[in-house]
Amino acid sequence: MRVAVAGAGLGGLCLAQGLTRAGVDVQVFERDDALHGRRQGYRLHVDARAGLALEKCLPPRLFGLFLATTGRPGTKVTVLNKRLAVLHETPTGPARDPDDPATLSASADRGILREILAAGLEERTHYGHELAGFEQDPEGVTLGFADGSTGRADLLVGADGVGSAVRRGLLPEARQVDTGVRIIYGKTPLDDATRRLIPPALHSGFTAIVGGRVGLATGLVEFRHPPAGFAPEVRLSPVGDYLMWAVSARQDRLPLPAPADATALYAVACRAIRSWHPALRALLAAASVEETFLVRVRIARRVPAWKPSRVTLLGDAIHAMSPARGSGANTALMDAANLCEAMTGGGNPIAQIGAYEESMRGYGFAAVEASTQAEAATAHPFRQWLRDRAGRWA
Ligand SMILES: Cc1cc2nc3c(=O)[nH]c(=O)nc-3n(C[C@H](O)[C@H](O)[C@H](O)COP(=O)(O)OP(=O)(O)OC[C@H]3O[C@@H](n4cnc5c(N)ncnc54)[C@H](O)[C@@H]3O)c2cc1C
């Protein structure tokens, strides 16, 4: 069986690892010219969905490397106001074993995770190959690339993210909507001086700071082991500890510059919190300005069941969601493991794909809904905070 995967993102690479491990001939076609061809984010919250999926798909040495390079788990999620008064704290539960994938709740660096996922797939991953379309026939699928070249496979998986070309061909009626929320992401590297700037509440894990109609989220990434050189056989970038921050608001509250380059976006983020606590302003002032980037939040509308075929989808390509709940990557990795199991479990592959799609639609769109609610809480944090208080008092 020859499987073609469009997209070398988190889900596509995870699937390719699992299929390779099972002895399936898989080729990955990626639009970008290189693994790090584009800024895509820094910190990811990974939970048991990611842990169990990666354990299933990665060879054991790479899975061990993934766990070893996660960040130290946080102890609570804290909501603060812009003067740093604590509004709400949610403990993350009893201390967990950071090496147990079934209870994983940690941060991971996206770039490092992608380097681990790409390790060993060098011969099978074709960068600079943008899939433009496909055609199915009874014997297989013909792939058409943007440069005019073609390819052939028995099955095609669209792991090509929110703007998926595979989804456009397979399910032209599927819709993504722009929620109107804009998020400016940035990164402040940690050294002795910047560590001293971090207010105590931000040390305990993920933090949401509410200020009128603007929100600031922060997450520390303190690696359990510095990634570079940890496993000499896999080249990992020399990423040090950092604080990820994200300034979010509806677009009318966060006027964006044109061009929205890193320097201009950084200035907008600093302006949005200019009257906030000096410690927060100091953390943004110490950021790596050139690493600032923008996310326009787009989410998928639920799609009714479709007839299974030789072409299927995973991750953001079918159920794109807001980053608000930290679920998109976890769900994409879970899809990859489930689809890998379906493709390698024996039986009629199209029937197996149908069973995967049926279950994926259930948990995938449930995750979209949960993240949409979380995003509403981010866009209207004070209203949500009041609602939570009312709920607790009720
Ligand atoms: C800033 C930010 C923070 C986030 N934080 C979290 C978090 O903490 N936890 C969490 O679970 N989720 C998080 N998410 C969501 C998560 O990143 C996505 O849900 C996840 O990356 C989806 O994985 P994927 O493999 O489906 O798609 P992607 O990772 O987007 O990969 C798609 C790949 O396909 C390629 N591609 C696109 N079109 C084509 C084409 N036509 N042909 C070939 N290749 C193509 C792209 O270049 C890309 O490499 C966050 C998202 C953002 C933006």
Query: pLDDT digit string (tens) for 100-126?
Result: 999 999 999 999 999 999 999 999 999
| DSSP reduced 3-state for 71 | strand
Ligand 1 atom closest to the CA of 6, numbered from 1: 43
Q: What's the CA dihedral at 70, 331, 61, 346 to 10 degrees? A: 170
- Tell me: pLDDT of 139 over 70: yes
| Residues 51-71, mean pLDDT to the nearest whole number | 97
Query: What's the confidence (pLDDT) of residue 391?
Result: 42
Which residue, by CA, sits nearest to atom 30 of ligand 1?
A: 161
pLDDT tens-digit profile of 269-302? Answer: 999 999 999 999 999 999 999 999 999 999 999 9
Task: Quickly tell me which residue has 């919250």 as its tokens.
Answer: 45
Count CB atoms within 10 A of the CB of residue 375.
Answer: 22
Which residue, by CA, sits nearest to atom 48 of ligand 1?
A: 9
Query: What's the confidence (pLDDT) of residue 222?
Result: 95
| Residues 40-67, mean pLDDT to the nearest whole number | 94
| Residues 239-262, mean pLDDT to the nearest whole number | 91
Q: Quick one: 344 exposed, middle or buried, by C-beta within 10 A (0-12, 13-18, 19+)? A: middle
Query: CATH classification of 2-385 is 1.10.260.40, yes or no?
Result: no
Question: Residues with beta carbon inside 6 Å of ligand 1?
Answer: 6-12, 29-32, 41, 44-45, 130-131, 159-161, 163, 165, 185, 295, 315-317, 323, 326-330, 332
φ, ψ dihedrals at 12, nearest 5°: -65, -45
Residues with Cβ within 8 Å of residue 108, at least 6 apart in sequence: 43, 44, 46, 50, 66, 69, 70, 71
Query: How would residue 4 be classed by pLDDT, with cut points 50, 70 and 90?
Result: very high
- Calculate how far, in angstroms, residue 192's C-alpha sits from the geometric centre of ligand 1: 33
The pTM (predicted TM-score) of the whole model is 0.94
Query: Contact, 3 vs 140, CB < 8 A?
Result: no
Which of 15, 32, 35, 44 maximizes ligand 1 atoms within 8 Å of its Cβ, making it the mutation to test the pocket?
Answer: 44
- Calculate how far, in angstroms, residue 26's C-alpha sits from the geometric centre of ligand 1: 20
Rounded distance between C-alpha atoms, residue 240 and residue 222, angstroms: 8
Please state which of the ranges 93-97, 127-131, 357-361, 390-394 shows the lowest mean pLDDT: 390-394
| Residues 133-155, mean pLDDT to the nearest whole number | 97
Query: How would residue 236 be classed by pLDDT, with cut points 50, 70 and 90?
Result: very high
| Residues 211-219, mean pLDDT to the nearest whole number | 91
- Tell me: pLDDT of 173 over 70: yes
Query: What's the confidence (pLDDT) of residue 392?
Result: 38
Q: What share of the chain has pLDDT > 90, as a percent?
A: 79
- Tell me: pLDDT of 393 over 80: no
Query: What's the confidence (pLDDT) of residue 383?
Result: 55
Query: How would residue 180 be classed by pLDDT, with cut points 50, 70 and 90?
Result: very high
Q: What's the CA dihedral at 151, 153, 159, 163 to 10 degrees? A: 40
Query: How would residue 331 be classed by pLDDT, with cut points 50, 70 and 90?
Result: very high
Rounded distance between C-alpha atoms, residue 44 and residue 109, angstroms: 6
Query: What's the confidence (pLDDT) of residue 273?
Result: 96
- Tell me: pLDDT of 37 over 80: no
- Calculate how far, in angstroms, residue 161's C-alpha sits from the geometric centre of ligand 1: 5
- Calculate how far, in angstroms, residue 75's C-alpha sits from the geometric centre of ligand 1: 27
